[in-house]
Structures are given as structure tokens and as C-alpha cells.
A and B are shown apart, each in its own frame.
Chain A
């Protein structure tokens, strides 16, 4: 089954304690991205990756890091979490190539709800 898998789904942590949210896709997609969802603000892009070893900042990258060592994995790292990073996080992937018939549909994971105390 084609899917994007995120872990953990739920996490409560304390300020300053480093954490990693993992994301893995089995569709051989080149493009992967992280979003955060906050009430009234919709989805905002944190970081994205066009391919292995290629990452770039989205609209709200402060306080986050990512890596793309393998095509299928794109972990999100919070080196020193703060309460304003309490949010619902989504990983998504898609084919990069806009060949005929490719609409650019993003495939999303089920989300990771993070609370930073």
C-alpha cells in the first residue's frame, strides 16, 4: 500500500529536549516536505527536499532542521523545542517530475501532534 508514515503520532516533551519526528514514504517520490498546521493559519511549509542531499527552507524554518540521506526518509529535527513549536506536523511527498498526467498531488502522512511544555 502506497503511504507516508510518520512517527510518533503523539508526543509530549519539555522545552529544550531534542526530538526527531520520522517520515518515510514507499512511493519512490523525489520531493518531500514538512508542514505545520495551526488553528486559523492553515498549513505552513517548514522545509522541503527535492531529492537526496537536497533540502531547502520553506516559510517557517526557524527552530527546525531536516536531513535527506535516503530517498524514502525525511526526518524533522527539533534541536531545542520551545512551546511555540506545539503544533500538528505533517509530512508529504510527491513526484518531482511534472510529466504529462502528473498533477503534483501531495500524499500526506497522518500527522504528528507535538506538545512542548
Chain B
């Protein structure tokens, strides 16, 4: 089955690191994504990781994937007030022409100046 879970809220101080966690249940995921939703806007892809990778780094962002535990995390280094948003974890499942994307509940990140 497919189910993606995240904690609902995270608060950090500006300059600290943020770690947002996600667990998923479908071991056949091909891609795992992190989307960012700023207030009043749609979701935008922040980063992604292919299921055969363990880690991906992109500037201040580090994605870690533990396939054994079905755990995905997003670390934001030197968190800024502009990082305040809702972060959604998502997994892509399937093969061929259609891959279903299932989203988590979203984690609201609050950055305290």
C-alpha cells in the first residue's frame, strides 16, 4: 500500500539546521521528492532522489534515503526566514506510462529570526 507520513510542524532558529523527516510504505517507489509550498502559492519541486541513491546534496539541501527503514529526510543547512513554508514529501510508484505520486501531509517549517 501507499502511505506517506510526516510530522506536521517544525520550528527552528535562523541559522540553525532544519531536518524534516518522512516515512513511506511502498518499497517499489522509483523517485522520492521534496516539494515546497510558500504561503498562497502552489507546490514547487525543491529536490528529488532516485530510489537507488542514498544521499543527494544540492547547496544547502541534503536528502538522505534509508530504503531499509523506508525513511526520507531533508536537511536544510543555515536555515533562513525565506525557508519558512510547508514541505511535502512525495513518492512516485509504478512503471511504464503511469506513475502515481502520493504526497505526505506536509510539514510546516517556522523559522524564528
Residues of A within 8 A of B (CB): 4, 31, 35, 40-45, 50, 90, 92, 96-98, 103-106, 108-111
Task: Find chain B residues with CB under 8 A from A108 CB.
Answer: 42-44
B residues 65-98 touching A (CB-CB < 8 Å): 88, 92, 97-98
Residues of B within 8 A of A (CB): 4, 6, 8, 30-31, 33, 35, 40-45, 48, 88, 92, 97-106
A sample of 11 cross-chain residue pairs with beta-carbon separation below 8 angstroms, ordered by A number, consists of: A4-B42, A40-B8, A40-B105, A43-B103, A44-B103, A50-B97, A90-B43, A96-B97, A97-B97, A103-B48, A109-B42
A94, closest chain B residue (CB)? B101
- Indicate if the CB atoms of A105 and B45 lie closer than 8 Å: yes
From A31, A97, A105, A110, give the contact of B48 (CB < 8 A): A105
- Indicate if the CB atoms of A43 and B42 lie closer than 8 Å: no
From A42, A97, A105, A109, give the contact of B104 (CB < 8 A): A42
- Indicate if the CB atoms of A103 and B42 lie closer than 8 Å: no
- Chain A's nearest CB lies how many Å from the CB of B25? 14
- Indicate if the CB atoms of A43 and B88 lie closer than 8 Å: yes
- Chain B's nearest CB lies how many Å from the CB of A110? 5
| A92 CA / B99 CA spacing, docked (Å) | 14
| A98 CA / B98 CA spacing, docked (Å) | 9
- Indicate if the CB atoms of A110 and B45 lie closer than 8 Å: no
A110, closest chain B residue (CB)? B42
- Indicate if the CB atoms of A106 and B97 lie closer than 8 Å: no
